[in-house]
Amino acid sequence: MQKLAEICIRRPVFATMIILALVVTGAAAYLGLGVDRFPSVDIPQVRVRATLAGSAPEDMETEVAQRLEEAVNTVEGLDEMRSVSGPGASFVIGNFKLERDGDAAATDVRDRVSTVLSELPPELDPPTVSKFDNESSPVMTIALSSDRPLRELTDYADRVVKVQLERARGVGEVTITGGLERAINVWVDADRLAARGLPITVVRDDRATVLGNVFGGFVMKDFAPV
């Protein structure tokens, strides 16, 4: 350091040029520095989603979510686990320690869930296991409000707004959250079922056949919001 100090004192122009070179190099590097607002972060979080149409939140909690929690709780490296149950759907979210590989954790959770499939309700759709993906998070949220009824506003968002947004350049996916979807109420004429020799379980187990025979005379239907 003393030798460098002596050179800088004896040759001030040389010292000035060295400092200017460092400043110019630093400024050029700063201007060319890239900034990623949404960096690719691999968070070891695994989500299990199970759906059962028409099931109450209490039934999803006791018959589905609790059994899935017992299975996921045995996976190595689990740091935190929580579940959310609603009408016809349950979500089990497991957060693993940072040193745990996300792909390996998802594979272990998938294996554990497969061992309790026989304990779940037979009408339940196969549970889906997915790893947290930061790049799949929405980058824009649009809220619709109107004086129209909620059912009509939901239909407008699905048929008009969603279609227009999907046509925009760079849009990968558009998802509608909330709203009020249309449901079909079916009334069964017990006398006509008996005349045809059909049990009531046919209506429950074979919905496609029932709706296909709506105009056959033994089933009446009506459209109403949920």
Tens digits of per-residue pLDDT, 130-168?
887 766 666 788 888 888 888 888 888 888 988 888 888
Between CA 204 and CA 34 the distance in angstroms is: 59
pLDDT of residue 15: 84
Between CA 217 and CA 206 the distance in angstroms is: 17
Alpha helices, DSSP H only, in the chain? 2-10, 12-31, 57-60, 66-72, 102-114, 150-156, 162-166, 190-196, 201-205, 207-212
pLDDT of residue 135: 65
Q: Give pLDDT < 50 ranges for the chain.
A: 208, 214-226
pLDDT of residue 218: 41
pLDDT of residue 20: 92
For the chain, where do the domains classified as CATH 3.30.70.1430 start and end?
Answer: 45-135
Q: Which CATH superfamily is domain 45-135 in?
A: Multidrug efflux transporter AcrB pore domain (3.30.70.1430)
pLDDT of residue 40: 66
pLDDT of residue 38: 62
Token couple for 174: 């558009």
